[in-house]
Amino acid sequence: MTPQRQEEVEERLRLAKGFLATTELPANANEYEIRNALSRCYYAMYHVCNALLAAKGDPPRTRHKDLQKEIRHSLGDPFSDNLKKWQVRREHADYRSDWVAQAYSGDVKQLRDAAVTILEEVRTEFERYRELITAEEAKSEAPDERS
């Protein structure tokens, strides 16, 4: 892997970890803290996906649909479908003022319980991507056997 590509991977991972760190919810989290955590978890996944692409030697994707398409091509439908699902949740959290009322009957505790489950899922997937990145880095460091 070129030094520039390694720098891209590291920078994307730095951003992803930073966004993920902001998703910790206190027991008494209010609606806005929960909405923010759900939004930030999507961006953590956005950057870890771009880190994986960089580790594979591909350029980052700045358009969300392009990233989903490339992840589908590289890893398959389940990975792309998850990324799309997290993007939709982010959009609800960021833009839909009626989202909590409609999806959770206005019950912030119910929202928090759902968010905790979603955030655990995202953290698990985040680690899965980290393992894929590590595997790609190991491949790029292995001697070329065709020589």
* 96-107 pLDDT, tens digit each: 999 999 999 999
Average pLDDT over residues 33-52: 95
What does the pLDDT read at residue 143? 65
Give the three-class secondary structure for 10.
helix
Q: Would you say residue 145 has pLDDT above 80? A: no
What does the pLDDT read at residue 140? 79
For the domain covering 3-139, report its CATH number: 1.20.120.330
pLDDT confidence of 21, banded at 50, 70, 90?
A: very high
Owner of token pair 């978890």: 41
Q: Would you say residue 147 has pLDDT above 90? A: no
Distances (CA, A) of 107 to 17, 100, 136: 30, 7, 43
Whole-number average pLDDT of the chain: 92
What does the pLDDT read at residue 144? 58
Q: Where are the domains of the chain?
A: 3-139
User: Shortest CA distance to 109 belongs to which of 40, 25, 36?
Assistant: 25
Q: Would you say residue 91 has pLDDT above 60? A: yes
